[in-house]
Structure 1
Amino acid sequence: MSDVLPEVLLEVCVDGPEGLLAAVRGGARRVELCAALAIGGLTPAPGLMALAAEQPIPVWPLLRVHPGPFRYTPADVRALKADMDTVAGFGLAGVVIGANEASGQLDRPVLAELADHARARGLGLTLHRAFDLAAAQDPEGAVDLAVELGFDRILTSGAARTAEAGLAVLERIVAHAGTRIAILPGSGISRANVDVILDRLGVREVHSSCSGPDLTGTEGERALGFLADAPRRTDEATVRALVAHLAARGRAHA
């Protein structure tokens, strides 16, 4: 007699052309496309979206119009809608968005307006880790709002810095979500800890940057402030290793 574990989809988060191609070559099955991951990610440039549109897997751009809190003015919302129009124009699969009130709760009016705009353009919807600020107060209520607004999935670390640290809250989130919405654990997931996370949660997809230190910069570039303090780059071998491990989990075993 054998058991078959469910197949697990790997989403890789990238912030440049080489990272995008590394994720695709390494076998990722979905990409979250960003700029400036060193500051939590910003909306990617149209040129990067154009390259993404040529790839054989679904690509979901993150839409974030400025660094800092996920709190948006009416002008920000107009810019986010325009970015959605750009994403739809390239024929990409969906968008990754989120918005909070100053209290940390999800900003229902802003999210509802953005979700409506995205759906009208045929775009899927991932609610990003802005969710975790709300989940720190009321995980179940935050899940219910995401379902109400029509999101396809929630990217979450369980209201902690990493998904491994947030496992207890992630268990609550997964249990409450049931089959109503997909839960995508992310932040700090690697080959070393993915089994612990999957065994506890039983989810069908995980999110990882699969990155390593980027050693391509020069001292002159660092001195002028052109580089992040600890730049990282998506690594094809790391993607490939995690994909292979997830595939091995899914094979029949005694």
Structure 2
Amino acid sequence: MRRPLLEICVDTPEGLAAALRGGADRIELCSSLALGGLTPTPGLIALAARADVPVYAMIRSRSGSFRYSAAELDAMRLEIEAVRRAGLAGVVFGANHADGRLDRDALSALLAASDGLGRTLHRAFDLAPDLGEALETAVSLGFERVLTSGGALRAPDAVPMLARLVQQAAGRIAVMPGSGVRAGNAAALLRETRASEIHASGRRPLPSDPEMARWGFDVAEPADTSEDEVRRLRAAIDAP
């Protein structure tokens, strides 16, 4: 049995380096993880292109909902093209209707723009009113995996649903648990859901600067990926 795949999401050069040193098998590259992850900057994309593991870039041009205008979809297609030119392995995106259902038309447009790259459907999936139906949509569209917390805020709180999704997927698409994943729960999540991939940030708090936060130049509780946390995740899921 092959070892579980560990994906680490990062949003800084230091976080990227920490994730690689800690043993990440794949990187989800973002900016602004405090907002759930936005499209990474050109400089961070260029740095990540040097990594010796696959790197998937988040394609999300703004915070907020996953309902996109025609102009926003045009911008996202251009972001995908920039990722392709940089030589990254794949992209991560999602789109919903107002009622939470996956937006097949928007997703089809982004999938066409990313043809030849790896494609992950992000946690826009978790907003769908029927996750089983959403999984079938993701399969039919051709995504290679879906990142999901099983419709809960944290994956550890939705183990039965995640297990059902893995069973339903039946190898047609990877179901990758994410959100709230830590070294202390990752192995149990993999074991109980029978997933073969898992997603985490491995972040630790950073010293805060209240003055920068007061000016709006920083978040109130900054954090970044920790090599030690990633190593602990790696050891936890690799343990026999």
Match of 1:245 in 2: 236
Residue 245 of structure 1, CA deviation: 2.1
CA RMSD, 1 decimal:
1.0
Match of 2:120 in 1: 126
State yes or no: 1:19 paired with 2:10: no
Match of 2:74 in 1: 78
Match of 2:104 in 1: 108
State yes or no: 1:218 paired with 2:214: no
- Provide the aligned length of Structure 1 versus Structure 2: 240
Residue 40 of structure 1, CA deviation: 0.9
Letter of the 2:89 partner, please give it: A
CA gap 1:171/1:155 in 2 versus in 1, 3 angstroms: same
Q: Does structure 2 conserve the Cα–Cα contact (< 8 Å) formed by 1:126 and 1:154? A: yes
Give the alignment's TM-score, normalised by structure 1.
0.92
Q: Larger RCO: Structure 1 or Structure 2 (Cα < 8 Å, ≥ 6 residues apart)? A: 1
Distance of 2:139 and 2:24 partners within structure 1:
26
Task: Map Cα deviations across residues 50-71 of structure 1 (whole Å, 9 max, x no partner).
Answer: 0000111111010001110001
Distance of 2:66 and 2:10 partners within structure 1:
20
Letter of the 2:54 partner, please give it: P
Task: Give unmatched runs, 5+ long, in structure 2.
Answer: none
State yes or no: 1:202 paired with 2:194: yes
Distance of 1:228 and 1:238 partners within structure 2:
21
Match of 2:41 in 1: 45
Pick which of 236-245 and 49-58 moved more.
236-245
Q: Does structure 2 conserve the Cα–Cα contact (< 8 Å) formed by 1:184 and 1:205? A: yes
Give the alignment's TM-score, normalised by structure 2.
0.97
- Aligned-residue sequence identity (percent) comes to 47
Match of 1:139 among 122, 131, 134: 131
Residue 6 of structure 1, CA deviation: 4.1
Q: Does structure 2 conserve the Cα–Cα contact (< 8 Å) formed by 1:139 and 1:172? A: no
SS in structure 1 at match of 2:56: strand
Distance of 1:68 and 1:45 partners within structure 2:
19
Distance of 1:239 and 1:203 partners within structure 2:
19
State yes or no: 1:96 paired with 2:88: no
User: Which has the greater radius of gyration?
Assistant: 1
Match of 1:36 among 28, 32, 45: 32
Residue 221 of structure 1, CA deviation: 1.4
